[in-house]
A and B are shown apart, each in its own frame.
Chain A
Amino acid sequence: MDLQGRVLLTLFVVSAAVVAIFVLIAVRSRGPALSQEAVQGPGYAVRRWWFFLLVAVLTLAFGASLPFYPYSRAQAEGDTVEFTVIAQQFSFSNLPQEVPLNTPVVFNVTSSDVTHGFAIYDPADRLVGQVQAMPEYDNQLRVTFTERGRYTVRCLEYCGLAHHLMEGGFEVR
């Protein structure tokens, strides 16, 4: 399963758990009631645990995600291939026809009119990477393609009436 699939699964699993908890609590609200004082003591104790659990989960998640930040501008190994692409309403200029397989590739992207998006979809139409294409600024998308075939480039930042038609492509060989 690709990464987005796993993220979606995480969302559904956690959602199911949350719904279950809420249903349980709602069901337990019927029947003989306890006073607020009786509930508070144990309730606040549980809250302390909940607080620490949540902080721990979030800290771990943050720490685990830091190494995957896409912002390092460290120069890659010598055989990085660079392409420059200009986005404009409603197409991508200077897209390469062919991109090498299993090679670090850098797309330098900007726009000549409005902000566009530069999003690459693999031959199975799965999103593999994206970056913004903002006028007057350059953004770099670093990616290594491990699969041969026809890749599609789409604009993902709303840019006008033909936004959904703005498409390009290249072959990875």
Chain B
Amino acid sequence: MPATTEPRATVNALPRVYLLLVLGAVAVAVGIFAIGLPDPHLSVRNHHIQHVFFILGGGLYGLALAMGLTANKHGKTWPGRGVWLAPALLASLVVMVAMWPSTYPVIEANPTLHALQHGFYIVASAVATFCAYYFARSAGWIMGGMQVVMAWAAAFGFGVNPGPSPLIAQVAAMPATASAGGGAAAYQNCVACHMADGGGMPGVFPPLAGHVSNLLAAEGGQEYMVRVVLYGLQGQISAAGSSYAGAMPGWGHLSDDDLAAALNHVSSTWGELPATASAPFSAADVQAARGTQLTPQQVHELRGRLGLP
């Protein structure tokens, strides 16, 4: 849009305003009736694509309104006030946030809410282009373009993801490899954080040597340990006098045998158990604990309820 140095001649802006209104209505209609679009009910991706047209339509409405209100204004200077950029940027951000893909199933079930949401997209995108236009004519069109591109790009990854790789299930399903080294081999999975000597990393990863004995001696400590290795642990704990606010990932993808072997390894290697006691953990214990899925935070809550050291 070339800027000129002479005052703009009086133009009748109405034809262009009407054209934008009509185009906007067409875009919104395409969105509502999903004309030529993939069925929005089928996936989040299709839903996003439908929304592109509401945002396009709303953007055009905003431009039409702004154009209509500012045409033929002699002496009106551009740029307008920079303060208009704030609602412009904010409105377009709010449109994206409002997409909140996890709400789509809820909204689909409620037609009024659904219509309101779509209406919101139209209004908010109109606000964005209207306000941008009031900063500068070209900015209005740029903002409209930005919004449409964002809405379209959202279809490729916002609330849309491929899901875990099949390789993970493949590995988990493999027959438990004979733990030739027994517990020591299984414990290799743990050395990165807990170290080969079980000492952990002060302040970062808690020690096992000297700490596991406290857990084993406590009521429910054994069951807790099984769940820690299966599901992980997240939350503040204290061990051996230090505080740890980290997070441990779960290892449920390892076999029951491997997990039990590792647990027995940490229980016996550093003298955590009296010499007479034998391996307290069995693969069956691990298997049984898989029955109830827990989150790392829930494991932490369990620790609290049991009052473990």
Q: Do chains A and B touch in the complex (CB under 8 A)?
A: yes
Interfacial residues, chain A to chain B (CB-CB below 8 A): 84, 86, 88-91, 93-94, 108, 110, 112-113, 135-138, 161-162, 165-167
Residues B249 and A110 in contact, CB atoms below 8 Å apart: no
B97 lies within 8 A of chain A by Cβ: no
Residues B164 and A86 in contact, CB atoms below 8 Å apart: no
B162 lies within 8 A of chain A by Cβ: yes
Question: Which chain A residue has the least Cβ–Cβ distance from B252?
Answer: A112
- Interface of chain B: mostly helix, strand, loop or mixed: loop
Docked CA distance A166–B193 (Å): 9
B163 lies within 8 A of chain A by Cβ: yes
Chain B residues within 8 Å of chain A by Cβ, number: 23
Residues B254 and A112 in contact, CB atoms below 8 Å apart: no
Q: Which of B13-21, B53-61, B166-174, B267-275 contacts A (4 or more CB under 8 A)?
A: B166-174
Q: Which residues of A contact B162 (CB under 8 A)?
A: 136-137
A90-B192, A93-B254, A136-B161 as given contacts; A113 in contact with B249, CB under 8 Å: yes
Docked CA distance A94–B185 (Å): 12
Residues B246 and A165 in contact, CB atoms below 8 Å apart: no
Contact of A91 (CB < 8 Å), options: B161, B163, B174, B189: B189
Docked CA distance A165–B201 (Å): 11
In the A-B complex, the 5 residue pairs with the smallest Cβ-Cβ separation, listed nearest first, are A110-B165, A90-B192, A136-B162, A165-B192, A110-B167
B114 lies within 8 A of chain A by Cβ: no
B113 lies within 8 A of chain A by Cβ: no
Q: Which residues of A contact B205 (CB under 8 A)?
A: 162
16 contacts between A and B (CB under 8 A): A89-B249, A90-B192, A90-B193, A91-B190, A93-B171, A93-B253, A93-B254, A94-B171, A110-B167, A112-B253, A135-B164, A136-B161, A136-B163, A137-B162, A137-B165, A162-B192
Contact of B165 (CB < 8 Å), options: A90, A138, A162, A167: A138
Contact of A84 (CB < 8 Å), options: B171, B188, B190: B171
Q: Which residues of B contact A84 (CB under 8 A)?
A: 167, 170-171
Nearest chain B CB to A95 CB, angstrom units: 10
Residues B164 and A136 in contact, CB atoms below 8 Å apart: yes
Q: Which residues of B contact A161 (CB under 8 A)?
A: 204, 246
B residues 172-207 touching A (CB-CB < 8 Å): 174, 188-193, 201, 204-205
Question: Which chain B residue has the least Cβ–Cβ distance from A168?
Answer: B188
Docked CA distance A93–B171 (Å): 9
Residues B189 and A135 in contact, CB atoms below 8 Å apart: no
B residues 115-163 touching A (CB-CB < 8 Å): 161-163
Contact of B167 (CB < 8 Å), options: A108, A113, A165: A108
Residues A162 and B193 in contact, CB atoms below 8 Å apart: yes
Contact of A165 (CB < 8 Å), options: B161, B170, B174, B193: B193
Docked CA distance A137–B168 (Å): 11
Q: Which residues of A contact B174 (CB under 8 A)?
A: 94
Question: Which chain A residue has the least Cβ–Cβ distance from B172?
Answer: A86
Q: Which residues of A contact B191 (CB under 8 A)?
A: 91
Question: Which chain B residue has the least Cβ–Cβ distance from A136?
Answer: B162
Q: Which residues of A contact B189 (CB under 8 A)?
A: 91, 93
Question: Which chain B residue has the least Cβ–Cβ distance from A90?
Answer: B192
